[in-house]
Amino acid sequence: MPVFRAAAGACGVALMGVGVWAAWRGDDPQDPWQVVQWLAGAVLVHDGVVVPLTLLAGLVVVRLRARRAVRAGLLVAASLTAVAYPVLFRPGVPQNPSVLPLDYLRNWLLLLGLTAAVTAATVLVRAWARRLREGPRDS
């Protein structure tokens, strides 16, 4: 396993190098300073928002009886948010209305609601099945 980790790390470092080279010498007329600002902002958001929320969720979830289902629901919600983030927080409105024609905020919220409903249903069905297995309680 250490060989695989070293190979994966080397590939990651090589790809980061390609990214830096493309940002500084690419054909895209981008200002390298904007790339640096964006990367710094991404680090600040990750370390200042994402990590504390993840740790807080972990503290809450570890105390729950249905932690597997809740963790799965949170993982799906985080994945949906990561995929939807670029279109939800895009700068400005596109000049061509056919580029992003859907109501992405509404669709993202609907998917988060569906994820919460499926997670809650899973927790309830498992609790109900556990009660059936345990049988009636004698007082």
Q: How far is CA 16 from CA 13, 108, 113, 134, 139, in A?
A: 5, 30, 36, 54, 65
User: Mean pLDDT, the chain, as a whole number?
Assistant: 84
What are the boundaries of each domain within the chain?
1-28, 29-90+100-134
Tens-place pLDDT, residues 67-120: 899 999 999 999 998 888 888 877 667 777 777 778 888 999 999 999 999 999
| pTM, to two decimals | 0.64
**Which H helix or E strand runs over 49?**
none
User: Residue 28 — φ and ψ, nearest 5°?
Assistant: -70, 130
Whether pLDDT at 62 is above 70 = yes
Q: How many C-alpha atoms does 114 have within 13 Å on its Cβ side?
A: 8
